[in-house]
Amino acid sequence: MKAVNVSGLKRELKEHSQQELVEICLKLAKFKKENKELLTYILFDSEDEDRYIKDIKEEVDTSFSEMNHDSLYYVKKSSRKVLRALKKYIRYSKKKETEAELLLYFCEKLKGLKPAHKRSQQMVNLYERQLIMAKKAISKLHEDLQYDFGLEIEKLTE
């Protein structure tokens, strides 16, 4: 089955009643966990972005505290898992400020790991890529926010 493009979906959705749209959304939520998470963000979290960021940071803290530090392999694997989840949450929000703040927070947590992230070139590359992505997101923000986030980046690059 071939998927229809977004404009075709939009045209078709306009022809449905509100009750039918609710049923379609519920079917999507039942079909895949990511759809349910996105609907949750849209309906409950999009109004209070600060609380959304705080909740994600708590989840990142939990993930880093539960990380297996026995081997660098497990640290790398767990870090990538945390980053995948973080990217998903950033995609839900689509706000550059949220993206920058969460990526900088991830870099801060990564820098503070017990087996130093600098022991592995892969971890160094992961860290530097996220800093670059944060800088790219920051460059699209207001000048005052750019300055504030720039101070955080300086702290992380020391």
Domain segments of the chain as ranges: 48-157
Q: Indicate the SS3 state at residue 70.
A: coil
Residue 4's pLDDT is 83
pLDDT at 80: 95
- 123 vs 117 pLDDT, higher one: 123
Q: Tell me the per-residue pLDDT of 7-40, one tens digit each, with 9 for 90 and over.
A: 988 898 899 999 999 998 889 888 888 989 998 9
Angle 109-38-51 from CA coordinates, rounded to 5°? 50
Q: How far is Cα 71 from Cα 107, in angstroms, rounded to an integer?
A: 20
Q: Which of 1-15, 51-65, 105-119 has the largest mean confidence?
A: 51-65
pLDDT at 117: 65
Supply the DSSP symbol for 42.
Answer: I
Alpha carbon distance 73, 24 (integer Å): 42
4 vs 157: CA distance, rounded Å: 45
Measured CA angle at 60 (ends 56, 65), to 5 deg: 150
Tens digit of pLDDT for each residue in 61-107? 999 999 988 888 888 999 999 999 999 999 999 999 999 999 999 99
Assess contact for 96 and 137: CB atoms under 8 A. Answer: yes
Does 112 score more than 70 pLDDT?
Answer: yes
pLDDT on residue 92: 94
Residue 112: how many other CB atoms lie within 10 Å: 10
Q: Above 70 in pLDDT, residue 3?
A: yes
Cα(91)–Cα(38) distance, integer angstroms: 9
Structure tokens at 114: 């017990």
Determine the pLDDT at residue 28. Answer: 86
Q: At what angle do helices 96-111 and 121-138 cross, to 10 degrees?
A: 150
Reported as a pLDDT band with limits 50, 70 and 90, residue 116 is low
